[in-house]
Structure 1
Amino acid sequence: MAATNVEELTSGASGRIIPLFHRAKSMALLLFPSYNFLKKFIILFYSSFLCFLLLLLPRSQRFSPAEVSESEPRPAAKFRRRRLMEEEEDTRRRRALAEALEMMPVKIDGKEERESGEDCRWSTSIFFGVRRNALFCRSWFPISSNPKGIIIIIHGLNEHGGRYAHFARQLTSRNFGVYAMDWIGHGGSDGLHGFVPSLDNVVADTAAFLENVKIEHPGVPCFLFGHSTGGAVVLKAASYPHIERMVEGVILTSPALRVKPAHPVVKRGIPVSRDPAQLLAKYSDPLVYTGPIRVRTGHEILRITAYLTRNFKSVTVPFFVLHGTADRVTDPLASQDLYDQAASNFKDIKLYDGFLHDLLFEPEREEIAWDIIDWMEKRLNVAQYFGNLVD
């Protein structure tokens, strides 16, 4: 068969260069027994030449790639190690601040606490979440008798449970026990400050903490309280039947069911209280994260709000939702939609005209707290009544 002519798709110089390669190949076949032997000879010569060059290098520059990676980590590994060290140091600092925080308010209802709250005991503890993260917790309990109910406080984005000490004191004065758990990345808990890799993990931590409280206090009715994004966490946790069965109801203040354009996901520096002293106290608190919102955290907030909005009609847990009509962070109309669409048999809503986002830090916070306590007592009375009918 005649050889096929192949068009040379190169520059004009190929007419001179390609014949040279053909002649070189012909000469190699004459000089060596086989063309394969020539290839092996060239490879051996090249390897020997590289070894000779390597011997000329100083010994300090003759490390193998493995030795280089072990003795000098890659930049990415260095960055991760440094970030973990900074995160651990920041967690230790925040936990020390959380431990030192005053847990008993000076005043309640505008009056001095009698003898530094001798009728109330309080403590701090560490709870290990579903991913074994150390979560900082606080508790307040009446001394005089067994509590008629327990409320678990889940704070809002960027704050911490210690901010609710005044509310806790009002609750203990009506014979309720109180727990407050700091999320991951918040308050005295583990994690990068202000960073929440998954709100589903916060939901799972809340559920696990509730289960632990029920074990420690068998037979005592429990409520879940959530503010803002904490309200979204509480509502999603209560959507699971085994969690709903463990609670008498949930309380939601300014829940993040729909965020507004002024939400920290979009904008910073918006007023959340009409009380200047409360604003100053919040944003000068070293345990409150005031930096730009973390991208992942913002994504998680938008994700959970979208999920809840799609599932309002499936909500069956008893709830009380409270919202200020002038809230510029979360949408009070979404709270109204929740109330209108939820299938819960026991539900209430209260909209406060002209109030802002942090309801329990507004000038009228005492009255708002009593509204919450009155609702819980009403709920307990209803549960007791139907319990007696069953008995």
Structure 2
Amino acid sequence: MDWIGHGGSDGLHGYVHSLDDAVNDLKEFLDKVLMENPGLPCFCFGHSTGAAIILKAMMDPRTENLVKGVVLTSPAVRVQPSHPIFVVIAPIISFLLPKYQLSGANRRGIPVSRDEKALAAKYSDPLVYTGAIRVRTGAEILRMTSYLQQNLSRLTIPFMVLHGTADTVTDPEASKKLYEEASSNDKSIKLYEGYLHDLLFEPEWETIVKEIIYWLNSRVNV
């Protein structure tokens, strides 16, 4: 599922008024998927901000009970703003100029994979937003990460979190914090030394996919 303003979903490309809208969209989508596939186990996979959306959705007991487990790659539990002052001024600017693009925060300027061919393929996809981050979107991501950091202990669903230690977009230390503080009895973490943000675009992506599939298969019949 592409969250609003991203991929093939409606809305201004790269803009989201509230990430809570994306959380609610995910809940509705899960209801639809489960209604169309009765009796089948349901798992969620999310990357970066998508993983953060899943995490918040799973803190709702009703939604959590619908899902067997979640896989999270490079989750946005904590992010590094383009400049520290953005944390202070983001709420103000997002109110006044919510759709304004921060020229100093263009995603292409941040290394997210060590595989240049994979990156070229990614950024040639018209559905991938490559512009500077919009102020409201950035403010919403900061708001979401702040909420998650304060509520990690509420997470009880089985999960697997994977993160590259050289990620400069989302903080791998925050994934460690997620693993340590979550109340889930079934939880695992994989840290990949020197890997960047887009794990499934890294040269070793096939190995990572195999680890995810193994984790999922071992829980399908549990």
Deviations 1:129-161 (A, max 9, x none): xxxxxxxxxxxxxxxxxxxxxxxxxxxxxxxxx
Matched with 2:217 is 377
Give yes or no for the alignment of 1:199 onto 2:29. no
The structure with higher relative contact order (CA 8 Å, sep 6+) is 2
- For 2:189 and 2:7, the matched residues in 1 are separated by 30
CA distance in structure 1 between the partners assigned to 2:136 and 2:80 by the alignment: 18
- 1:210 partnered with 2:48: no
Q: Output the CA distance in 1 between the equivalents of 2:200 and 2:132.
A: 24
Cα distance in 2, alignment partners of residues 367 and 242 from structure 1? 34
Q: Decide which structure has the larger Cα Rg and report it.
A: 1
TM-score, with structure 1 as normaliser: 0.50
Query: In percent, how many aligned pairs have the same letter?
Result: 64
Matched, 1:257 2:77: yes
Q: Quote the offset at 1:210 in angstroms.
A: 0.6
TM value normalised by structure 2: 0.87
| Partner amino acid, structure 1, of 2:45 | F
Give the Cα separation in 2 of the matches to 1:191 and 1:300.
Answer: 16
Question: Match for residue 361 of structure 1?
Answer: 201
Residue 175 (structure 2) aligns with: 335
Task: Confirm whether residue 323 of structure 1 aligns to residue 124 of structure 2.
Answer: no
Give the letter aligned to residue 187 of structure 1.
G
Paired AA for residue 294 in structure 1 = R
Give the AA of the match of 2:32. Answer: N
Deviations, residues 91-117 of structure 1 (Å, cap 9, x unaligned): xxxxxxxxxxxxxxxxxxxxxxxxxxx
In 2, the alpha carbon distance for the partners of 1:368 and 1:297 equals 29
The residue that corresponds to 2:105 in the other structure is 267
Per the alignment, do residues 260 and 239 of structure 1 end up closer, same or farther by CA in structure 2, a change over 3 Å counting? same
Cα distance between partner residues in 1 of 2:3 and 2:78: 21
Equivalent position amino acid for 2:191 in 1: L
Q: Which residue of 2 aligns with 1:352?
A: 192
1:289 pairs with 2:146: no
Residue in structure 1 matched with residue 92 of structure 2 by the alignment = none
Is residue 118–residue 201 contact of structure 2 (8 Å, CA) maintained in 1? yes
Distance in 1, Cα, partners of 2:46 & 2:82: 20
Q: What is the DSSP-based 3-state SS (H/G/I as helix, E as strand, rest coil) of the residue aligned with 1:194?
A: coil
**Whole-angstrom CA distance in 2 between matches of 1:319 and 1:309:** 16
1:280 aligns with 2:120: yes
Counterpart CA distance in 1 for 2:71 and 2:19 is 19
Taking the TM superposition and a 5 Å limit, the aligned residue runs for 1:83-94 are: none
What corresponds to 1:245 in structure 2?
Answer: 65
Give runs of aligned pairs for residues 41-60 of structure 1, distance below 5 A. Answer: none
CA distance in 1, matches of 2:219, 2:186: 8
Note the C-alpha offset of 1:261.
Answer: 4.3
Does the alignment pair 1:225 with 2:45? Answer: yes
Q: How far is 1:364 from its partner?
A: 0.6
Please say if residues 262 and 270 of structure 1, whose CA atoms lie closer than 8 Å, have aligned partners that are also in contact.
no
Cα offsets for 1:56-108 (capped at 9, x unmatched): xxxxxxxxxxxxxxxxxxxxxxxxxxxxxxxxxxxxxxxxxxxxxxxxxxxxx
SS of 1:372's equivalent in the other structure is: helix
Q: Distance in 2 between matches of 1:213 and 1:223?
A: 11
- In the alignment, residue 234 of structure 1 is paired with which amino acid? I
> How far 1:369 sits from its partner (Å)?
0.6
Q: Distance in 2 between matches of 1:353 and 1:267?
A: 25
Distance 1:196 1:333 in 2: 26
Give the C-alpha shift of residue 211 in structure 1: 0.6
| Aligned residue runs from structure 1 range 136-155, under 5 A | none
Task: Identify unmatched segments of 5+ residues in structure 1.
Answer: 1-180, 384-391
- Whether the 8 Å CA contact 2:105–2:133 is kept in 1: the answer is no
Looking at structure 1, the residues matched to 64 and 148 of structure 2 have their Cα atoms a distance apart, in angstroms, of 16
Q: Report if the CA contact (8 A) 1:262-1:329 is conserved.
A: no
Q: CA deviation at 1:380?
A: 2.1
Deviation per CA, 1:297-356, whole angstroms, max 9, x where unpaired? 011000000000001111111110000000010000000011011110100000001000
Deviations 1:142-185 (A, max 9, x none): xxxxxxxxxxxxxxxxxxxxxxxxxxxxxxxxxxxxxxx12211
SS at match of 2:132: coil
Number of residue pairs matched?
Answer: 202
